[in-house]
Structure 1
Amino acid sequence: MTVQPIRLFGDPVLRTRAAEVTDFDAELRHLVRDLWDTMQEAGGAGIAAPQLGVGLRVFTYHCDGFAGHLVNPTFEVVGDEYQDGPEGCLSIPGLRWDCRRHLHVVAKGWNMHGEPVEVEGSDLLARCVQHETDHLDGVVFVDRLDVETRKRAMREIREADWFDGAVPVLKQSPHPLFGEAN
């Protein structure tokens, strides 16, 4: 098992867009194993490489009966339905708030061997794909909360035992829906 420390909210790596993976090599396969082991140990539904301090476009997921990883992921929104629901993040431990996401998405990318992958599933999987893809763009889900919830979230983060006092930065998501929260 290769469990790695998870970077916490306030760490600049979480606000930096991750680079495309160009080499599908042993190092990438090792990263995917580290992501998987860390996600499993932490009890998360997903984790992105920046959360381990690695600026590459890779994430693993295990939610609602679906499990795997995506390299250089993209997603397409299917339909115009939204879901509101509680969301948390391994980089913001112990805290959750309601967040709006698209109800259906189809994610595409590659596996660690460079083979194409397409993932489509439940509303929980759609939420996970959107959340982790945001991480790869330097966006944390609190950026997507409505104004009042975001104010409450930032206060709760500043009061959390794990928070180191860094000045939190808010960033806009390049994906559709940002700015249309609740």
Structure 2
Amino acid sequence: MSVLPILTWPDARLSWRCDPVEGIVPDDLIRDMFDTMYAAKGRGLAAPQVGVMQRFFVMDVGWKEGPPSPMAMINPVIMAAERVPVEMEEVCLSIPGLSVPVTRPKAVTVQWTAPEGDIHMADFDGFEARCIQHEFDHLNGVVTLDHLDPRARAAMLSAYEGNHS
């Protein structure tokens, strides 16, 4: 088990759409991604954030306040989303130190393949749904900054680049 380097903005790979996973994701890669996420104090980590351009992510929204609830989603598909949007500040391990207001559906229905190969479908709401949508965005080459209008994005990028140059 090891901690992997996390790509940071403006690495071009964070803007690439990932390929579907064909076959299996190695168990050691999933373990390393969990180790990396926990070491970075995150709640989710998508494969492209560690330079693996495939459609899967790991998450654990419970570990900071209560019992851990680790989950890996391979080739996830958001099947449905609640129509009522909710705005909330989001942070991203690939854009450290920047909190961005993002509007997302409060609840989603997701289908995914688990590491052992079983196909699942479930409803998620609240922070769990937000985390899934955030990581799902990464699989499509979308980062939190992409949710902003051009003026707000320019201001956020200016602040970010001022702190990371």
- Calculate the TM-score normalised by the size of structure 1: 0.82
| Matching residue of 2:45 | 47
Gaps of 5+ in 2: 63-67
Gaps of 5+ in 1: 164-182
Is the 1:66–1:125 Cα contact (8 Å) retained in structure 2? no
Give the Å deviation of 1:46.
Answer: 0.4
Once the two structures are superposed, the pairs formed by residues 97-108 of structure 1 within 5 Å of their partners are 97-108=100-111
CA deviation digits over 1:22-79, x for unaligned, max 9?
Answer: 111xx52222111111001101110000000111111001114643010001112333
| Matching residue of 1:67 | 70
CA distance in 2, matches of 1:28, 1:82: 36
| Mapped pair 1:156 → 2:159 | yes
Q: Secondary structure at the match of 2:5?
A: coil
CA distance in 2, matches of 1:146, 1:123: 24
| Matching residue of 1:115 | 118
Matched residue count: 160
Q: Secondary structure at the match of 1:63?
A: coil
Is the 1:110–1:117 Cα contact (8 Å) retained in structure 2? yes
| Mapped pair 1:10 → 2:5 | no
- Calculate the TM-score normalised by the size of structure 2: 0.89
Q: Report the identity percentage.
A: 34
Q: Find runs of 4+ consecutive structure 1 residues off by over 6 angstroms.
A: none
